[in-house]
């Protein structure tokens, strides 16, 4: 039984321009952390990610939701978590502040993720293992499919998972091989050219076969120059992704993306405003065959559904510490699977939670094991930091979702 | 110069099921109020609207923005308010909590509206008069048109307003006639049939020629029955609007809206989730010629742009205490004008602020003077409550935007 809750506002200033992009020049990586203490002595930990200011608001909203969980048994709760999620996310007064977006939805992510962590810890297994061992019905019972009835009903979701059952064993080979990573940190926005060059070489030496550069400069020539620097060092076989972090408007995005074609980007990420489904459609048409990626700022399953229906984004970067947590992440992954679009999460969690989720997406849902973003900046703060060796995430073995922070231990 | 700021969390419990709808059964009408005190002794008041829980979060975010205004001169600030709006709404850390939606955007509305109120009070004129006397350039300088470049540039916005100049004088006849109102309170969700009947009769006696009923019941037969009750009492010449407050999913909306055709609704409002642009397109196609209205929960100009481009909504219910305040309201109204869609605001402000804005939309922008929602529940709390006589809003004459609350006076 959940007997106590604790919500903490944890902020980690970054060193030397790490984390900077075209829009966010001075981020403070921060977590609104929910801890659910079980009377058996086990603590479930979950969080949402922010960039600093306002992290306290997410914490206050998380406390509101978390209080509603006091006295609940975690196994019973997770047996029908989809219903609980629906109830919490439609809280009659709180709902006005979204619905299903912004501070209240980030807060719901924090609480939801703590539930999944507690669930896995109580069973004594890593979250990926718990998820891959659930039956299709048990999985779908943790999901809230409301407002998706035109694309994904309960029965359709169960069928999709059932179809994958026969291939689960074979796909478990990923557990030994490790899930491929890609290096996001070769070219943060404020890094000078020389540093980008050095970082590219380091990434190659570390075994990465994919890496990302921040673009979206006031002067597009800077973007073009830096993109070609990375391509030159990386060579033609390495995947190089470009990330504009919403900096462009549509006409500007069409111009600059067209110029960037020449360096053959694997994708161009967040070219414009994350709410602008229609602009992405027009852009994708204008710059084909260059592909788009987005999702880092898409707040919920409903806008993801709209992007999938529009067909403009070739990679969906849903983040379980942005949308309403693991439950909504799985819901969105199911829709992506239906539409044949790979899920490549943004990792506000620094990959700690998502290393579990992509294993489930591959083994249980049949998603391609493409690669998972790797951001190393907060590794020293986690009790069980993700291990990336030779460009590959080693499969986590500890119980839970790997989200415990050292500062909150003891 | 703005020398002091004050942000207040004001909540008004409602009596006897007033305000109830299919989703929000127990609202507490609440305002996150920003007051900007000028060293000349004048106080500008603005607010965002919520349903209670979490109003404090909006207040905290508003305080963050309001602090940034201390020391500013209001005339100078408003001369280029669009730039300030862009800066505030893209605050590098706060932006993560949106962007441009949820708690942070509600907070920006509160602060923005206080600026406009202070501006009008300093000039000693009602806000509608201030706005209608500004030049096209002065108006557009208060707007942030970023991410709208594909539909509305600075020059296009100035041209649109300039084209209206010759007809402004003639349109000022609305000031004497008064702006038509419609009665939202005949059929709140929890009201029993008898009460709905009585309210319809009262509304007719008060001179209203348009009224709204809440639908979205678990049993669609209840919706059909109540809708026909209102139509029967109102007669064929009265406009009757139906409001589902997002209760339906798409298949359900198609079914129930089709059944509701028989009572000839003037519009069906918020049939499904406000983020689901595509679902509204499919619904509008399926139930034509029945028309849709929405906007109460649409958080920003970008999603409004998507709805306008999709062409699914025949009435746009933008609310200046939901989107980022007066500035963004005018931006969205300009886009609506371009697309030929009438603006019929949702009035989280109980019409206090919007009575000014619709007058400007009509006189300065050439929007049709259709009607403005009337909700009487909080009238006694305003220093200058809106006056509705014979179903018509009388033109406010006091300086400012009519948003002062008695509880915050003195």
Structure pTM? 0.98
Instruction: For residues B394 and B204, give the distance between their C-alpha atoms in angstroms, rounded to a whole number.
Output: 18
State the catalytic residue, choosing from B101, B214, B354, B356. B214
Per-position DSSP letters for B186-199, written without gaps between them: EE-TT--HHHHHHH
Whether residue A277 lies within 8 A of chain B, CB to CB, comes out as: yes
A57–B57: do the CB atoms touch at under 8 Å? yes
Whether residue B282 lies within 8 A of chain A, CB to CB, comes out as: yes
Instruction: For residues B292 and B311, give the distance between their C-alpha atoms in angstroms, rounded to a whole number.
Output: 10
Task: Using the CB atoms, write b or e for B364-381: b if 16+ within 10 Å.
Answer: bbebebbbbbbbebbeeb
Q: Would you state the pLDDT for residue B4? A: 97
Size of interface A-B (CB pairs under 8 A): 182
Whether residue A285 lies within 8 A of chain B, CB to CB, comes out as: no
Cα-based distances in Å from B148 to A336, B86, B242, B320, B340: 28, 13, 31, 18, 17
User: Helices then strands (H, E): number in chain A?
Assistant: 16, 12
Closest partner residue to A53 among B93, B279, B310, by Cβ? B93
Q: Would you state the pLDDT for residue B163? A: 98
Q: Would you state the pLDDT for residue A410? A: 57
Instruction: For residues A114 and B341, give the distance between their C-alpha atoms in angstroms, rounded to a whole number.
Output: 45
Instruction: For residues A250 and A271, give the distance between their C-alpha atoms in angstroms, rounded to a whole number.
Output: 8
Closest partner residue to B102 among A93, A98, A276, by Cβ? A98
Q: Would you state the pLDDT for residue B18? A: 83
B168-408 under CATH 3.20.20.120, yes or no: yes
Question: Do residues A316 and A342 touch, judged by C-beta distance below 8 A?
Answer: yes
Instruction: For residues B187 and B199, give the distance between their C-alpha atoms in angstroms, rounded to a whole number.
Output: 7
Topology of domain B2-123, per CATH?
Answer: Enolase-like; domain 1 (3.30.390)
Which of A27, A73, A17 lies closest to A50, judged by CA? A27
**Cα-Cα end-to-end distance for chain A:** 20
Instruction: For residues B300 and B310, give the distance between their C-alpha atoms in angstroms, rounded to a whole number.
Output: 16
A 135-154 residues with CB < 8 A to B: 146-150
Q: What Rg, from alpha-carbon coordinates, does chain B have?
A: 20
Q: Would you state the pLDDT for residue A8? A: 98
Instruction: For residues A332 and A323, give the distance between their C-alpha atoms in angstroms, rounded to a whole number.
Output: 9
Burial of B396 (0-12, 13-18, 19+ CB in 10 A): buried
Whether residue B155 lies within 8 A of chain A, CB to CB, comes out as: no
**Range(s) for CATH 3.20.20.120 in chain B?**
168-408
Residue A212 φ then ψ, to 5°? -130, 145
- ipTM value for the complex: 0.97
Which of A365, A345, A366, A340 lies closest to A355, judged by CA? A345
In B, minimum Cα distance to A30 occurs at B93
Task: Using the CB atoms, write b or e for B282-298: b if 16+ within 10 Å.
Answer: bbbeebeebbbbbbbbb
3-state secondary structure of A18: coil
Closest partner residue to B297 among A51, A99, A275, by Cβ? A99
Question: What are the CB-based long-range contacts (under 8 Å, 24+) for A380-385?
Answer: A380/A406, A381/A12, A381/A405, A381/A406, A381/A407, A382/A350, A382/A352, A382/A406, A383/A409, A384/A352, A385/A352
Torsion of CA B84, B85, B90, B93, to 10 degrees: 80
Instruction: For residues A407 and A307, give the distance between their C-alpha atoms in angstroms, rounded to a whole number.
Output: 38
B381 is catalytic: no
- Give me the tens of pLDDT residue by residue for chain A, a chain 410 residues long: 999 999 999 999 988 778 889 888 889 999 999 999 999 999 999 999 999 999 999 999 999 999 999 999 999 999 999 999 999 999 989 999 999 999 999 999 999 999 999 999 999 999 999 999 999 999 999 999 999 999 999 999 999 999 999 999 999 999 999 999 999 999 999 999 999 999 999 999 999 999 999 999 999 999 999 999 999 999 999 999 999 999 999 999 999 999 999 999 999 999 999 999 999 999 999 999 999 999 999 999 999 999 999 999 999 999 999 999 999 999 999 999 999 999 999 999 999 999 999 999 999 999 999 999 999 889 999 999 999 999 999 999 999 999 999 999 85
∠ CA A107-A108-A112, nearest 5°, is 125
Residues of A in contact with B54 (CB under 8 A): 61, 64, 93-94, 96-97, 103-104
Residues of B in contact with A278 (CB under 8 A): 277, 305-306, 309-310
Torsion of CA B56, A86, A309, A299, to 10 degrees: 30
3-state secondary structure of B32: strand
B96–A147: do the CB atoms touch at under 8 Å? no
Q: Would you state the pLDDT for residue A338? A: 98
Helix axes B354-363, B326-339, angle to 10 degrees: 40
- Give me the tens of pLDDT residue by residue for chain B, a chain 410 residues long: 999 999 999 999 988 788 888 888 889 999 999 999 999 999 999 999 999 999 999 999 999 999 999 999 999 999 999 999 999 999 989 999 999 999 999 999 999 999 999 999 999 999 999 999 999 999 999 999 999 999 999 999 999 999 999 999 999 999 999 999 999 999 999 999 999 999 999 999 999 999 999 999 999 999 999 999 999 999 999 999 999 999 999 999 999 999 999 999 999 999 999 999 999 999 999 999 999 999 999 999 999 999 999 999 999 999 999 999 999 999 999 999 999 999 999 999 999 999 999 999 999 999 999 999 999 889 999 999 999 999 999 999 999 999 999 999 85
Question: Cα A301 to chain center, whole Å?
Answer: 13
A51–B303: do the CB atoms touch at under 8 Å? no
**Range(s) for CATH 3.30.390.10 in chain A?**
2-127
Q: How distant is the Cα of A233 from the closest Cα of chain B, in angstroms?
A: 31
Residue A285 CB: number of other CB atoms within 10 A? 11
B 297-336 residues with CB < 8 A to A: 297, 299-300, 302-303, 305-306, 309-310
A338 is catalytic: no
Which of B64, B60, B144 lies closest to B100, judged by CA? B144
**Range(s) for CATH 3.30.390.10 in chain B?**
2-123
Which of A44, A33, A34, A38 lies closest to A2, judged by CA? A38
Which of B110, B65, B97 lies closest to B84, judged by CA? B65
In A, minimum Cα distance to B147 occurs at A249
Q: Would you state the pLDDT for residue A20? A: 87
Level-2 CATH architecture, domain A2-127: 2-Layer Sandwich (3.30)
Residues of B in contact with A255 (CB under 8 A): none
A249–B282: do the CB atoms touch at under 8 Å? no
Residue A328 φ then ψ, to 5°? -70, -30
């Amino acid at each position: 039984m959940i007997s106590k809750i604790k919500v903490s506002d944890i902020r980690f200033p970054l060193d030397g321009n790490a984390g900077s992009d075209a829009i966010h020049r001075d981020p403070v990586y921060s977590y609104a952390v929910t801890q659910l203490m079980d009377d058996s002595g086990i603590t479930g930990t979950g969080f949402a990610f922010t960039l600093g200011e306002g992290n306290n608001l997410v914490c206050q909203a998380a406390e509101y939701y978390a209080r509603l969980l006091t006295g609940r048994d975690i196994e019973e709760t997770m047996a029908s978590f989809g219903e609980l999620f629906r109830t919490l996310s439609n809280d009659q007064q709180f709902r006005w502040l979204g619905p299903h977006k912004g501070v209240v939805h980030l807060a719901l992510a924090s609480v939801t993720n703590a539930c999944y962590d507690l669930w896995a810890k109580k069973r004594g297994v890593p979250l990926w293992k718990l998820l891959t061992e659930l039956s299709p019905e048990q999985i779908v019972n943790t999901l809230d499919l409301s407002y998706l009835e035109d694309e994904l009903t309960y029965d359709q979701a169960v069928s999709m998972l059932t179809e994958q059952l026969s291939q689960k064993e074979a796909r478990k080979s990923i557990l030994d091989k490790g899930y491929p990573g890609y290096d996001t940190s070769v070219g943060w926005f404020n890094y000078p050219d020389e540093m980008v060059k050095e970082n590219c070489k380091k990434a190659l030496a570390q075994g990465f076969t994919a890496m990302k550069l921040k673009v979206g400069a006031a002067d597009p020539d800077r973007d073009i120059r830096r993109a070609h620097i990375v391509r030159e060092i990386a060579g033609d076989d390495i995947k190089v992704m470009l990330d504009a972090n919403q900096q462009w408007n549509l006409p500007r995005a069409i111009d600059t993306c067209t110029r960037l074609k020449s360096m053959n980007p694997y994708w161009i990420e967040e070219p414009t405003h994350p709410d602008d489904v229609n602009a992405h459609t027009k852009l994708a048409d204008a710059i084909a065959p260059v592909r788009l990626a987005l999702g880092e700022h898409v707040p919920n399953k409903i806008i993801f559904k709209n992007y999938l229906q529009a067909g403009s984004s070739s990679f969906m970067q849903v983040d379980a510490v942005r949308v309403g947590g693991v439950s909504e992440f799985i819901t969105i992954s199911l829709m992506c699977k239906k539409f044949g679009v790979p899920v490549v999460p943004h990792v506000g969690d620094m990959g700690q939670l998502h290393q579990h989720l992509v294993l489930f997406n591959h083994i249980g849902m049949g998603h391609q094991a493409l690669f998972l973003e790797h951001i190393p900046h907060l590794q020293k703060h986690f009790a069980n930091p993700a291990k990336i060796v030779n460009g590959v995430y080693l499969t986590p073995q500890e119980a839970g979702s790997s989200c415990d922070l050292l500062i909150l231990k003891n």
